């Protein structure tokens, strides 16, 4: 889809009173203007479309011309509400709204949304000298066809792979692992002590027997069974923090140490 930049007249920044203030939950930029402005005053006439009302009700709906740059074919619509005459919101727009105009007399708030537009917004206000102005007209501007930037890729998640899968492709760093035949799960670590980084092939240093791969989790995030925040699961026996931690130390010294039950033991190699 072709990206069409939103052309805003820089001089419009100077048209509004410095006493104007505005609000919106979803806007990326808001600035004041004055006069009888329409959507086409801020973008190319051949692209921009609008739906609006000069007699807003407490709640209602707006309709507009079909946006040729979205998947629909039957025209556009949106629901809106006005609370106390001064707070505007819209929702369930059938097409992304690129920017909106709120009017009160000659005062205007130009509310510009992020590239790609939004289908809803709330708490839209036009405030002059600390007073929320009664909204006399609403215009929702659409049709630019801007494409929202793709979200950043998720951080890579490492895993401890299945030993059986590694055996089929050469083993754990070249070592075949014989997993328990009774189906019990085991985590197997293999360190090549003659190698600088404990691996001669660059393959994983650990695998798990009789199990699907183990995904990385974050022990510094509080576990919540209702939120997927990549926290490490709460132990079934609910004894988190009550057990003595087991440490294995290996740093090419050349010796290896383990601390189990509070007792530290080292072995040279």
- Tell me the average pLDDT across 125-140: 92
Q: What size, in residues, is the chain? A: 269
Whole-prediction pTM value?
Answer: 0.51
pLDDT exceeds 80 at position 255:
yes
> What DSSP state is assigned to residue 12?
G
Q: Residue ranges of the domains in the chain?
A: 10-142, 152-216
Ranges 74-88, 163-177, 242-256: which has the least confidence: 242-256
- Neighbouring CB atoms inside 10 A of 92's CB total 11
What does pLDDT average to over the chain? 84
Query: Are residues 209 and 164 in contact, defined by beta-carbon separation less than 8 angstroms?
Result: yes
Cβ-proximal residues to 192 (8 Å cutoff; 6+ apart), any chain = 173, 198, 199, 200
What confidence tens digit (pLDDT) does each residue in 188-229 have?
999 888 887 888 888 788 999 999 999 888 888 888 777 778
Which two structure tokens, joined as six digits, stand for 247?
């440490």
Alpha-carbon dihedral sign for residues 43, 49, 51, 53: positive
Residue 121 to residue 39: CA distance in whole angstroms: 18
């Amino acid at each position: 889809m072709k990206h069409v930049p939103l052309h805003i007249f820089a001089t419009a920044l100077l048209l509004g009173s410095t006493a104007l203030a505005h609000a919106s939950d979803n806007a990326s930029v808001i600035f004041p203007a004055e006069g009888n402005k329409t959507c086409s005053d801020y973008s190319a006439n051949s692209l921009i479309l609008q739906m609006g009302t000069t007699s807003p009700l407490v709640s209602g709906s707006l309709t507009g011309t079909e946006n040729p740059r979205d998947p629909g074919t039957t025209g556009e619509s949106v629901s809106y509400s006005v609370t106390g005459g001064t707070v505007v919101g819209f929702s369930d727009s059938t097409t992304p709204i690129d920017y909106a105009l709120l009017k009160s007399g000659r005062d205007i708030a130009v509310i510009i949304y992020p590239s790609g537009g939004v289908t809803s917004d709330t708490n839209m206000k036009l405030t002059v000298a600390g007073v929320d102005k009664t909204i006399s007209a609403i215009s929702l501007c659409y049709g630019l066809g801007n494409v929202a930037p793709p979200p950043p890729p998720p951080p890579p998640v490492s895993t401890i792979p299945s030993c059986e899968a590694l055996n089929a492709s050469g083993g754990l760093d070249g070592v075949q692992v014989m997993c328990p035949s009774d189906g019990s799960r085991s985590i197997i670590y293999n360190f090549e002590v003659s190698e600088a980084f404990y691996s001669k092939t660059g393959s994983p240093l650990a695998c798990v027997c009789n199990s699907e791969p183990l995904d990385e989790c974050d022990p510094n995030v509080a576990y919540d069974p209702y939120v997927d925040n990549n926290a490490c699961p709460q132990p079934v026996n609910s004894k988190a923090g009550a057990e003595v931690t087991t440490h294995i130390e290996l740093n090419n010294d050349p010796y290896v140490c383990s601390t189990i039950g509070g007792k530290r033991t080292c072995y040279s190699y």
